């Protein structure tokens, strides 16, 4: 078995081969060479892809890791009802108007991992100016979630498109996508149509839900958001913003309280569908991700692990231990 050190040059080669330099910024595209798949280059910047790219870049080039996140937040929405949102896709060369009604960005977001990634990058770069810039942008991002996506004030945010979850065609959402039987073509057409509907509604989660479109409180997305706000609290300590630490913890606890009150059924977590918040009782990998955000209690954490593989993950996430 190769040691991890042997993988570092390979990581560097893959990342460097997909690096994009444009308008004074640098980011890593998902792929600049997809010829083997018979499709065009995949060269736009995607939100949570860049977070993962930064986490990997920090191992070989911490400055590039910082640039990855700086380029991402540079495209943050600055005005209108979605001010503060970080788009799920940035079209640095244009080309988004056909789907989103605007050329440079999408109208949706993706799982918020910015602070988690920035914290890991900072451990290698030790650049407080970078951390400060990310902190202020990410504060506005989480404020946007509260304003635009926490429809009923329970601390849980609502997704308005499957692309926001980072998983395009999750089976547990076929009904919410109005798919009577799934095929790749039907699923793709439904997602493209929903993107146009989202644009028509100006990304308003409340009006989309009222009109009967895709409206899901998803357990994994909310868990990731809890983890990211917990990381914001840790960044606040580093930056000497001690008055913010309690604020971030209170916001994390609101998510945990909402999760416990609404998303747990017989010690299993499930997504909630539509304004009526009906549970989607389908086990999924997303149940594991709730552990990342420390959302389940001890008993529920054990049940989640046992239900999926027969092995509890409680020890692996002991830093998020919560007593019943």
- pLDDT band, residue 317 (cuts 50/70/90): very low
- What is this structure's pTM? 0.89
pLDDT exceeds cutoff 90 at 24: yes
Q: Which sequence spans correspond to the domains of the chain?
A: 1-126, 149-324
| N-to-C CA span, the chain | 41
Q: Which helix (H) or strand (E) holds 190?
A: helix 184-200
Q: How does the average pLDDT of the chain come out, rounded?
A: 89
pLDDT exceeds cutoff 60 at 298: no
- pLDDT band, residue 301 (cuts 50/70/90): low
Instruction: Tell me the backbone φ, ψ of residue 302, rounded to 5 degrees.
Output: -65, -45
Which stretch of 123-137, 168-182, 273-287 has the lowest confidence by average pLDDT?
A: 168-182
CATH classification of 149-324, choosing from 1.50.10.10, 3.30.460.10, 1.20.120.530, 3.10.290.20? Answer: 1.50.10.10
The set of residues, in sequence order, having a beta carbon less than 8 Å from that of 293 and lying 6+ positions away, is: 222, 223, 224, 225, 226, 227, 230, 255, 256, 320
The set of residues, in sequence order, having a beta carbon less than 8 Å from that of 186 and lying 6+ positions away, is: 179
pLDDT at residue 1, rounded to an integer: 64
Dump pLDDT digits (tens) for 182-239: 789 999 999 999 999 999 999 999 999 999 999 999 999 999 999 999 999 999 999 9
Distance CA 13, CA 293 (A): 32
Dump pLDDT digits (tens) for 39-97: 456 899 999 999 999 999 999 999 999 999 999 999 999 999 999 999 999 999 999 99
Distance CA 218, CA 215 (A): 9
Q: Which helix (H) or strand (E) holds 120?
A: helix 114-125
Average pLDDT for residues 270-291, to the nearest whole number? 94
Q: Give the pair of three-digit tokens for residue 265.
A: 């059924």
pLDDT at residue 252, rounded to an integer: 97
pLDDT at residue 115, rounded to an integer: 98
The set of residues, in sequence order, having a beta carbon less than 8 Å from that of 113 and lying 6+ positions away, is: 48, 51, 52, 224, 227, 228
- pLDDT band, residue 3 (cuts 50/70/90): confident
pLDDT at residue 181, rounded to an integer: 83
Average pLDDT for residues 35-42, to the nearest whole number? 57
pLDDT exceeds cutoff 90 at 314: no
Q: What is the 8-class DSSP label of residue 6? A: G
More confident residue, 323 or 192: 192
Closest CA to 249 of 230, 268, 222: 230
Buried b (16+ CB within 10 A) or exposed e, 40-53: eeebbbbbbbbbbb
pLDDT at residue 89, rounded to an integer: 96
């Amino acid at each position: 078995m190769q040691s991890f050190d042997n993988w570092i040059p390979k990581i560097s080669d893959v990342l460097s081969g997909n690096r994009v330099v444009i308008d004074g910024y640098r980011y890593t595209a998902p792929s600049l060479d997809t010829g083997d798949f018979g499709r065009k280059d995949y060269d736009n910047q995607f939100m949570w892809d860049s977070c993962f790219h930064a986490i990997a870049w920090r191992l070989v080039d911490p400055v590039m890791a910082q640039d990855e996140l700086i380029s991402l937040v540079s495209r943050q929405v600055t005005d209108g009802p979605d001010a503060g949102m970080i788009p799920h896709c940035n079209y640095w060369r244009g080309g988004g108007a056909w789907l989103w009604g605007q050329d440079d960005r999408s109208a949706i977001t993706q799982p918020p991992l910015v602070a988690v990634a920035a914290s890991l990058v900072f451990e290698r770069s030790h650049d407080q100016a970078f951390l400060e810039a990310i902190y202020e942008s990410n504060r506005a991002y989480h404020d946007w979630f509260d304003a635009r996506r926490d429809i009923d004030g329970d601390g849980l945010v609502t997704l308005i498109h499957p692309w926001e979850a980072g998983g395009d065609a999750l089976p547990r959402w076929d009904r919410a996508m109005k798919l009577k039987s799934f095929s790749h073509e039907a699923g793709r057409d439904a997602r493209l149509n929903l993107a146009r509907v989202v644009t028509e509604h100006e990304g308003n989660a409340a009006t989309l839900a009222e009109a009967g479109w895709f409206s899901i409180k998803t357990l994994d997305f909310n868990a990731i958001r809890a983890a990211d706000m917990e990381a914001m609290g840790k960044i606040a300590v580093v930056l000497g913003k001690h008055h913010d630490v309690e604020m971030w913890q209170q916001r994390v606890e609101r998510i945990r309280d909402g999760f416990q009150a609404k998303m747990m059924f017989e010690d299993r977590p499930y997504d909630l569908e539509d304004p009526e918040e009906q549970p989607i009782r389908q086990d999924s990998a997303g149940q594991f991700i709730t552990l990342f955000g420390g959302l389940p209690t001890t008993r529920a954490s054990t049940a989640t692990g046992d239900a999926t593989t027969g092995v509890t993950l409680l020890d692996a996430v002991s830093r998020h231990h919560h007593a019943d």
